[in-house]
Amino acid sequence: MLDDVGHPGRAAGEGVMPQDALLKEIIKVIGGVKEKSKTYVLGTCLNNTPLTTTAEFTLDPEKMVLYGFHEMGTEKLIHIKANPKVSLNWHVEFETFTDFLCVQIIGHAELIDGSSDAFEKIMIEFLPYENGARVPEDATPEQREQRLKQFRDSLKKGFYISKITCDQITIATMDFVKNGFRRYQRWARQ
């Protein structure tokens, strides 16, 4: 829960959305798998040197976990291996300070390599990999699955899946104010 500093005109606890309702709002905003994934700014840090980069993630709303797909050897993965604490940000482009929608996430990451059984399962259920397989339009269902399997197997050799467990999510929008809530709301994993 956000503290009461910076919320003028509100009593302690006033305007704080119930956690279950807030979780539904968060899932509505950042949820989506496969082609409905979103591009986030990902912040990592190594030896007191921060790094931000963009990466695509998809949400498992039941576990409140984000999954991303990354090429091996990138700087962000080196950071995550050494320091799994991460921060992410996603927002809608806005023109004024009255039409914003921003999401900040703090979590911890783990990297899943191709030798893990979870790698293929996560790809199939969450990640938008199918277009990369270039399955011919006239492929039979069996040919399609064979091509997708071959492509998944090839990705196991050069990519990691990041699993980011969301520990805290802050969402900001003036839409909350219209409904009697504070513009900033925070969900925290219990």
Backbone angles phi, psi at 47, to 5 degrees: 50, 45
- Decide which of 10 and 80 is more confident: 80
pLDDT band at 77 (very low <50, low <70, confident <90, very high): very high
* Structure tokens, 123: 């790809």
Sorted by where each begins, the domain ranges of the chain are 19-188
Share of the chain above pLDDT 90, in %: 76
Residue 6 pLDDT: 45
CA 185: distance to chain centroid? 18
Does residue 4 surpass a pLDDT of 60? Answer: no
pLDDT confidence of residue 159: 95
> In the predicted model, what is the mean pLDDT of the chain?
91
> What is the pLDDT averaged over residues 149-159?
93
Asked if residues 101 and 89 have their Cβ atoms less than 8 Å apart, the reply is no
If one compares 6 and 65, the residue with the highest pLDDT of the two is: 65
Residue 190's pLDDT band (cuts 50, 70, 90): confident
Residue 165 has pLDDT above 70, yes or no: yes
Please name the amino acid found at residue 180.
G
Q: In terms of DSSP H, where are the helices of 13-140?
A: 19-30, 75-82, 117-125
pLDDT of residue 13: 78
Q: How would CATH label the architecture of 19-188?
A: Roll (2.30)
